[in-house]
Amino acid sequence: MPTPTPIPTPTPIPTPTPPITDPAKLSVDSSALPGYVKGERQNDRSYIKKLKDFGSFRWWNFAGNSTTPLEKYTATEQIAFGEPSTYTEVPGVLTFRGNHYRNAPSYGTADVKEKKLEVVWTQAIGAISGTNSWWPGAGWTGQPLLVKWPAETRAVMGIKDEFKNDENFIEAIYPVFEGKIYFLDLASGKQSRDPIKVGYGFKGTATVDPRGYPLLYAGQGLNDTNGKIGPFRYRIFDLIQNKEVSGWPGKDPVAFRSWGAFDSSSLVNWQTDTLLEPGENGLFYKVKLNSKFDPAAKTVSVNPEFTKWRYRTPLTKTNGIESSQVIYRNLSYFSDNDGNLVCLDINKLEPVWAYNVGDDSDSTMTLEETADGVFIYHGNTLDKRGSSGKKLCNLRKFNALTGELVWQHDVPVVYESYLNAGLLASPLLGTGELEGMVIFNVCKTTSHAAGTMLALDTKTGKPIWTRTMTAYSWSSPLFIHSDDGNT
């Protein structure tokens, strides 16, 4: 009798380890980082620490609407973000550049054949005048959000009936200069709900709640609509009723600056129900939302509790943060109008390190986590340095945990007093076959009208390729991924 051929036992496929989302396991002990300096309490309830190669950094913490600084800030819970994929389980782009690393600006794949772009549909939007200028269309850094809503949310939202049962429905959400928020069906361009009319313009990108709650967070960028002046507000919208239900004023008595705009796109930590938002008034807001969503009752609500962080450095003159923060675990990174690049521990509300980047910095950074460490990529503008010094845009890579400068690449630019040259767009990290490069889009390089797009080696900062554009761009680049896996 022939010996039967043995049937091999299939190799078991290991179950992937789920990413960590527990803040207690993710939090970085900032006091254990190299170069950490402890802050010293002052008589006015501020704290000061002298940072190496930077100088004296002073800060205050405020609770709620109180104008008296806290004696000492103690967090009631730990906040920490996990890897980028854990920011949200809702498909789409729910905040500026997609997540807290700001490295996911696009969603989905495309059937790429001709490698050409075409206009599929359009939506006309208006314009306003105000603040000594004309504001047509959508603002900087305003980009539309894309949301494929969970079924239980879609069923109760204030969208038109034809979309309530559409499992493929993806909504594009766009706050614009004319003071309206548009809602469009991505497939057809039809309005999925009537625009929400606020009356005052938006500049920045909004944020959708990453839990799929029908909540939209959007900061107001202008308070002058055709000569009508109104209060600055950060606004929270109920997308069941399609109306504003909460928020807070941008003009704050504890702020050093009276300009109360919000260009930054907020981040929401779903584990702790906390929203984080820097403002152009120079304050950093840590907001416990106390949100509740009841699909059965068709209700959603928030009851915000505020903690505000204020700071001053040797560079401080203007105050104001226009960039959107990036976050690694419990460390937030942002740069401001005075050239301060700040690493802030959001649990302690304490600066960890700071760097003088030399000029106003408006664009949002991107964060990279590799086997070699955690890094951020940054670029500044030519603004306060004026026309007398070196006319350069400084592109830099930093060690995110220590603040150490890894490399710097300078791009010559043309000074213009009323419109900044330099980096106004966020850098884009290469993935897949493009891994190892970071792409920058720099304004006013070879002339007042021209721009330069360049790819730098992430390890060395040396150019891989450079492309001169006859018309400069403020838009942040993104990748389109094809169905066959190419970029």
Residue 439 DSSP SS3: strand
pLDDT for res 3: 65
8 Å CB contact between 391 and 415:
yes
Task: Provide, rounded to the nearest whole percent, the portion of the chain with pLDDT above 90.
Answer: 89
Report the b/e string of 170-206 with b at 16+ CB within 10 A: bbbbbbbbbbbbbbbbbeeeeebbebbebebbbbbbb
pLDDT for res 418: 87
Q: What angle do CA 7, 8, 11 make, to 5 degrees?
A: 150
Indicate the residue type of 148.
K
pLDDT for res 181: 98
Read off the pLDDT of each residue in 404-408 and give the average, rounded to a whole number: 99
Which segments of 224-272 does DSSP mark as H helices, in order? none
Q: Could you tell me which residues come within 8 angstroms of residue 451 by beta carbon, excluding any fewer than 6 positions away?
A: 441, 442, 443, 444, 445, 468, 469, 471, 472, 473
> Does residue 395 carry a pLDDT above 90?
yes
8 Å CB contact between 180 and 160:
no
CA pair distance 472, 152, nearest whole angstrom: 43
Read off the pLDDT of each residue in 48-74 and give the average, rounded to a whole number: 97
CA pair distance 440, 204, nearest whole angstrom: 20
Residue 346's pLDDT band (cuts 50, 70, 90): very high
CA pair distance 427, 378, nearest whole angstrom: 8
pLDDT for res 11: 66
CA pair distance 484, 110, nearest whole angstrom: 9
pLDDT for res 481: 86
8 Å CB contact between 154 and 163:
yes
- What domains can be seen in the chain, in order of their start residue? 362-487 (2.40.10.480)
> Does residue 183 carry a pLDDT above 60?
yes
The chain-wide mean pLDDT, for the chain, equals: 95
pLDDT for res 485: 83
Least reliable range by pLDDT among 11-25, 253-267, 329-343, 389-403: 11-25
Residue 209's pLDDT band (cuts 50, 70, 90): very high
Residue 285's pLDDT band (cuts 50, 70, 90): very high
CA pair distance 40, 350, nearest whole angstrom: 11
